[in-house]
Amino acid sequence: MSRQIIIGGNWKHSMTEADTVEFCEEMKPLIEQKPTSVKLIIAAPDLCIHILERYFGKDDRIEISVQHFDIGVSPTTGARTGATTLNQIEKSESNIQWVIIGHSEVREYSHIDNRYINQQLLELQESKSGIRPILCIGEDFDIREQGTEVLKDYLKKQLTEGLADISAEFMKKIVIAYEPIWAIGKKTDGSAKESATSDQAQESCNIIRSIIIELYNQELADGITIQYGGSMKAKNAEELLSQTDIDGGLIGGASKEAQSLIDITKAAS
């Protein structure tokens, strides 16, 4: 079955509004080079979304994502300083079509767990807003060191708890990003981490697909897009993306430059 190939840029906190203008100016002529078979999403910081909207909001070659929202806050609940709600995202004047759910950095720094992530997905399922989640899962180095069976159990727990009461119909809208924490970002000395090898990434994405078969069914699992994330860049993208169960990438550092992001979309086609 042919699956949708999706490349996502996750800018995290690193881009300012001025950086976003610069990126968009660089991207304007380059977007022509994006293969039509590859969907491109950019998850920008909330403050930068309006700039992406200004440049690409009416252009379906780039779809806009936020990186998180807070659960349990509605226009009628008590005041919650600092929160961003699904209601605000839905009613945004920007055409926000995606949200990253459960990124490992949000899990760690905002202390959210699988239950919280499940509540986010349930809110999205109930909202019928059409906003699609990119659900991030992945293990730290301790788990990886304990071997494949422990890894399987860990990914299964993240998926089973995160997807509790998620219908098959809504599941078809979810993209899963497999992001091993040990491969994301930089080491403490500032040097780049190594990506997972293509074999490691393929093995994990295959495990994820087989868990989806158990939780749902073969047809659904065959159709779902599973991205790999963790030090993917133009240089290693082709090898990672040529694996049978890897249908895209979620890219941090290398997504901040328009040319490098476009090169990754080319490697994906």
Q: Catalytic residue numbers? A: 103, 179
With CB under 6 A as the contact rule, the residue among 5, 135, 151, 232 that binds ligand 13P is 232
Nearer to ligand 13P, 34 or 107 (CB): 107
In the block, tokens 């008590």 appear at 78
- Does 134 engage in binding with ligand 13P (CB under 6 A)? no
Query: Least CB distance from residue 23 to ligand 13P, whole Å?
Result: 16
Please spell the DSSP secondary structure of 3-28, one letter per residue: --EEEEEE-TT---HHHHHHHHHHHH
With CB under 6 A as the contact rule, the residue among 42, 250, 258, 264 that binds ligand 13P is 250
Nearer to ligand 13P, 159 or 181 (CB): 181
With CB under 6 A as the contact rule, the residue among 57, 133, 162, 253 that binds ligand 13P is 253
SS3 196: coil
What does DSSP say about strands 132-137 and 175-178: parallel, antiparallel, or unpaired?
parallel
Query: Least CB distance from residue 124 to ligand 13P, whole Å?
Result: 18
Within 41-60, which residues bind ligand 13P (CB under 6 A)? none
With CB under 6 A as the contact rule, the residue among 65, 118, 158, 231 that binds ligand 13P is 231
Query: Least CB distance from residue 109 to ligand 13P, whole Å?
Result: 13
Within 210-229, which residues bind ligand 13P (CB under 6 A)? 229
Q: Which residues pair with 64 in a beta bridge?
A: 42, 96
Within 189-208, which residues bind ligand 13P (CB under 6 A)? none
- In angstroms, the CA 14 to CA 105 distance is 13
The span from the first CA to the last CA of the chain, in angstroms, equals: 16
- In angstroms, the CA 257 to CA 202 distance is 26
Q: Choose the stretch contacting ligand 13P; rule: CB under 6 A; options: 116-124, 163-171, 197-205, 230-238.
A: 230-238
Nearer to ligand 13P, 10 or 20 (CB): 10
Query: Least CB distance from residue 227 to ligand 13P, whole Å?
Result: 9
Q: How many residues does the chain have?
A: 269
With CB under 6 A as the contact rule, the residue among 53, 84, 94, 185 that binds ligand 13P is 185
Nearer to ligand 13P, 205 or 232 (CB): 232
Q: Going by C-beta distance under 8 Å and a sequence separation of 6 or more, which residues neighbour residue 205?
A: 178, 226, 228, 243, 245, 246
Interior angle at CA 249, CA 244 and CA 250, nearest 5: 150
- In angstroms, the CA 131 to CA 69 distance is 12
Pull the structure tokens for residue 188: 């403490």
Name the helix (H) or strand (E) containing 223: helix 218-223
With CB under 6 A as the contact rule, the residue among 131, 251, 267, 268 that binds ligand 13P is 251
Amino acid, res. 111: H
The footprint of ligand 13P (CB under 6 A) covers: 10, 103, 179, 184-185, 229-232, 250-254
